[in-house]
Each structure stands twice: as structure tokens, then as C-alpha cells.
Amino acid sequence: MPRPQAVSLPNASPDIPPAGVEFRAMARAPRVLVFDSGVGGLSVLAALRARAPGCDFIFACDNAAFPYGTKAETELVERVDKVLHQLVRREQPDILVVACNTASTVALPRLRARIPNPVVGVVPAIKPAAALSATKVIGLLGTPGTVSRPYTRQLIADFAADCEVICLGSSRLVEIAELALRGTAPDIDELRAILTPLFTNPALDTLVLACTHFPLLAEALATAAPRPVHWVDSGDAIARRVLALLSGPADGPDRGFRALFTGAAGSDILHPALAVRGCTEVAILP
């Protein structure tokens, strides 16, 4: 299968090797593929690079099928299975991270049954949020699909049975995060309106960001919130899990990452934001 056409990006950090450096020169470094339908997986990738900077990271974005949060479960499982099998054959990763709550809550069993490599998923951080909350009133902010799925309800029953959990699904927040990485600053008033239903209970003291897009808006969300709360996401927990599964050296200088997109439309607008975050090369899959 031919390699996709690639575009090298200017380096944003002196710690990242020039884009022309061959990755195979560091072939012993574990290869970690981070997958999402949009740019939300970049929040998980940042946590991974903080704990395992020496890995060979690939960020794969299925933007041709974005968004996942509004798709039916059957359609979503088929799409994720198809794209990830193509990516695994092409890139030969040592570990695969499904950095999407929506995909993880429905597709992980099938992926783990069909892909021999370790597959790490992202699930809402309900357990740590319940442990952190002093008032036992927590909010769950995700996509409509994530907050309504039986998997999420079971997590609440298993780990937050002693809590009141206020759930809110928002597809618009995903759009806002995507636009933010393309240069459009979030409207704080709009964010405040989206968050309002979560804060109707004055006892709420902890809020779970149950979509990997949402940590990209963490600062803006904290500004829009009517009062300080604990914001909890899964990024660091996923990074610790991946680190435990690695069989090769994960330390060393940060080598940045490569980015792959399933569609060309709009991907070029992301180049500046990707470069700032350490991306050395962008390619569109055929």
C-alpha cells in the first residue's frame, strides 16, 4: 500500500528534530497511534507525550467521518473498525489509543477481539470524579451519544452510586473546540449558556469532561463557569496506562508527532495549531 503524500511542518520547539529526520533512525522507540474523529485526541496525545516523550507518536484523525457523536452505534462501530484496521496495517503501531469517548464506549470490544496489539480506550472519568467530590454532586459533560449510552450509565452505577450525577450532552462544544484550533476564539457567553444546566444545583463541585475535545477548552470553560469546580478528564490516566503497557524505552527527548487525516477538506487550516503542538509532518490518507 503506498504511503500518503506528506507535508512537513515548521518546527515550533528546538527539542523536536527537523521534519526531514527519518523516524526509522529511532526504530526501537515504541510506536503509539492515537486515534480520534477530530482534534480532541490531541488532548490525550499531550498527556502521553508528557509521560513518554521518547515514543514515536502518530495522531490519526478520521475527519472524513466527523463527527462521531451523532452516529448510530452500528454505523460507528463499522467505521472505527474499518479505519483502524487500515491504520494498523499501514503504521504497525505497538499500542493503539482510541482517544474518543464516543468510539470507546461502543467499539472497544470488537477492536480488542480483532486487533492483536494492545488497544487502550478513553472512558468518562467518573470514578476519580466521585472520589474527588466533597459534596457528592458531580457533572458529566460529554457528547449526546456518550452521556446516554448504557456503558456510561453502568460506570455511574459502579463508581458513583453515592453521587448525584448531572448529565449534559453537547455536540456544539465539539464544534467550538474544532473551531478554536482553527483560530476562532470561543464565545464565553455561549459557553456559559451551555454550562448553565450543570450548575443549577449549587452543591455541584466536580465536573467530568467526558469528551477528549473538551480539555482543549479547559481555560475558556473555567472562565465561563459561574464558580470554581474541579475539572476532571481522562488524559493522565490514559497516559499512565499506556506507559505501563510499553515494552520499549519511553524516555528521551520529545520527538513531536506525525499527523494523518482521512480527508483533505479543512485539514490545512489546522497546520499552524498542529505545528505549535509539535507536529512535524501532516499527511492525507488515500
Give 155-193 pLDDT, tens digit per residue: 999 999 999 999 999 999 999 999 999 999 999 999 999
What is the model's pLDDT at position 17?
40
List, in order, residues 6 or more apart from 182 with CB less than 8 Å away: 266, 269, 270, 273
Q: Is 167 a catalytic residue?
A: no
Give 139-158 pLDDT, tens digit per residue: 999 999 889 889 899 999 99
Confidence (pTM) = 0.86
Catalytically annotated residue among 61, 100, 167, 279: 100
Backbone angles phi, psi at 55, to 5 degrees: -75, 160
Assess whether pLDDT exceeds 60 at residue 66.
yes
Can you tell me which residue has the cell 454550562?
A: 195
What is the model's pLDDT at position 15?
44
Assess whether pLDDT exceeds 80 at residue 201.
yes
Domains, the chain, in order of start with CATH, read 6-21+28-121+236-284 (3.40.50.1860), 126-233 (3.40.50.1860)
Give 100-116 pLDDT, tens digit per residue: 988 998 899 999 999 99
Inter-residue contact 24 to 3 (CB < 8 Å):
no
Q: Is 100 a catalytic residue?
A: yes
What does the mean pLDDT of the chain come to?
Answer: 89
Catalytically annotated residue among 61, 163, 167, 211: 211
